Amino acid sequence: MGHFDIAIVGAGMAGASIAAEIGNAAHTVILEAEDMPGYHSTGRSAAFWEECYGGPEIVPLTLASGPYLREHGFLKDRGALYLARAGDEAKIASFFASFADSGAEFERIDGEKLDRLVPGLSPEWDRAIWQQRCADIDVAGLHAHYLKRAKAAGASLHCRARVASLAFEGGRWEIGLGDGRSLLAALLVNAAGAWADHIAALAGVSPLGITPYRRTVAQLRVDPPPPDELPLCLDIAGSFYFKPESGRLWLSPHDETPSPPADVAPEELDVAIAIDRLQQVTDWRVLGVERKWAGLRSFAPDRRPVYGRDPANAAFFWFAGQGGYGIQTAPAAARLGAQLVLDRARDSMTATLDPQVYSPHRFRQI
């Protein structure tokens, strides 16, 4: 297949976006194990941009990505509510304390305004935190945008190209694929999502403990149908979220079940739990489950993304551990990742980001 400057493992949002940002500065190949890019987590996202989602350490990436997403037409205003009850006052106070200086915009609401935003809300859910700037993301459009940019810059994409072996010799990677093909690359970018630690092990690099977790979503018919303008609704305690989608409701029990990297499927119990939680929050009748799916969210031990060269082998670059926030943070993460790969200075998009916060060096002492 040839000799490349950079080989990127994974063509989901992570791999596509960093390839696009590297652009024509390097001769790049993207290796995707599946028949098409974005088959796993990218293609199963609940598709929203929410400033506080992921915690205070994710906020800088999210806010830095917002202008790019808006300017390119990938966001559609939605608004978000963190719903709460009387017993959740401590959680509300903790939310305000955690995000007070983050740059995220939010306010507390209750009463008539909350009832207007979520008709049919059960009376005990009588308080909320409102985030006006939350938006839906056109995930497919964003992914296609980055793949198009990468292709225009000369990157080649190979699907059905599962990495089977990796050896670092003479200052370059010898990459063997499952179908017998092979190639050479000076730098390996690990954008393999749930398979990130597996790729590290193949490369002889110590895994970081990046763990995949299953997340379930179901599409429901409910009566009355959810209004198109219904905000994204999340439990302040983290036990559900739901949003409208084309006259239906997307609902998740906000589950995080450790899973080996695989093509995961939803569990019936998780769907049942989600519906039970919804019925405790609203008076809507669930008429049927039209479809259900699950995806994997992959976290490093401290739940921060990992961007940077491995301290034991600088020819191995981590671009992984992005949890469930890799879509909403893609522009800034990819720009920062490319700057680190190419040893470039940060720019206006990444100026507020501290690369050390995301560096793999935080896990290792050399």
Domain boundary among 299, 314, 330: 299
Q: Does some domain include residue 118?
A: yes
pLDDT band at residue 45 under the 50/70/90 scheme: low
Residue 366's pLDDT is: 41
Residues 84 and 216 in one domain: yes
Residues 110, 128 contacting (CB under 8 angstroms): yes
Domain count for the chain, please give it.
Answer: 2
Residues 341 and 247 in one domain: no
Measured distance CA(249)–CA(51) in Å, rounded: 22
Residues 241, 48 contacting (CB under 8 angstroms): no
- With a pLDDT cut of 90, the percent of the chain lying above it is 92
pLDDT higher than 80, residue 43:
no
Cα torsion at 16, 148, 295, 47 (round to 10°)? 110
Q: Does some domain include residue 185?
A: yes
Q: Give tens-digit pLDDT for 83-121.
A: 999 999 999 999 999 999 999 999 999 889 999 999 999
pLDDT band at residue 71 under the 50/70/90 scheme: very high
**Over the chain, what is the mean pLDDT?**
95
Residue 47's pLDDT is: 79
Residues 119 and 160 in one domain: no
> What is the DSSP secondary-structure string of 240-286?
-EEEEETTEEEEE----EE--SS-----HHHHHHHHHHHHHHB-PEE
Residues 316, 205 contacting (CB under 8 angstroms): yes
Residues 6, 341 contacting (CB under 8 angstroms): yes
User: In 3D, which of 270, 331, 332, 329 has the Cα closest to residue 295?
Assistant: 270
Measured distance CA(147)–CA(14) in Å, rounded: 11
Measured distance CA(140)–CA(30) in Å, rounded: 18
Q: Does some domain include residue 59?
A: no
Q: What is the CATH number of the domain that holds 112?
A: 3.30.9.10
Residues 277 and 325 in one domain: no
Residues 266 and 292 in one domain: yes
- C-alpha distances (whole Å) from 132 to each of 59, 117, 135, 254, 265 are 15, 11, 9, 22, 33
pTM of the model: 0.94
Measured distance CA(73)–CA(10) in Å, rounded: 25
Mean pLDDT of 205-220: 96
Residues 254 and 119 in one domain: yes
Q: Does some domain include residue 159?
A: yes
Q: Give tens-digit pLDDT for 266-282.
A: 999 999 999 999 999 99
Question: Which residue type occupies 163?
Answer: V
Domain boundary among 272, 299, 326: 299
Measured distance CA(362)–CA(168) in Å, rounded: 24
Q: Does some domain include residue 292?
A: yes
Q: Give tens-digit pLDDT for 159-205.
A: 999 999 999 999 999 999 999 999 999 999 999 999 999 999 999 99
Residues 219 and 333 in one domain: no
Residue 181's pLDDT is: 94
Tokens representing 143 are 């992914």
Residues 217 and 244 in one domain: yes
What are the strands of the beta sheet with 135-137, ordered from one edge? 48-49, 135-137, 75-77
Q: Name the residue range of residue 335's domain.
A: 3-43+139-209+302-363
Q: What is the CATH number of the domain that holds 348?
A: 3.50.50.60
Tokens representing 303 are 């739940």
Residues 115 and 150 in one domain: no
Q: Does some domain include residue 351?
A: yes
| Residue in the structure block whose two tokens are 């938006």 | 135
Residues 218 and 234 in one domain: yes
Domain boundary among 299, 320, 351: 299
Q: Does some domain include residue 180?
A: yes
Residue 161's pLDDT is: 96
Long-range Cβ contact pairs of 237-245 (< 8 A, separation 24 or more): 237/84, 237/88, 237/91, 239/277, 240/274, 240/277, 240/278, 240/281, 241/46, 242/278, 243/46, 243/48, 243/78, 243/136, 245/219
Q: Does some domain include residue 52?
A: no
Q: Residue length, the chain? A: 366
Lowest mean pLDDT segment, chosen from 117-121, 227-231, 236-240, 259-263: 259-263
Residues 152 and 25 in one domain: yes
Residues 106 and 222 in one domain: yes
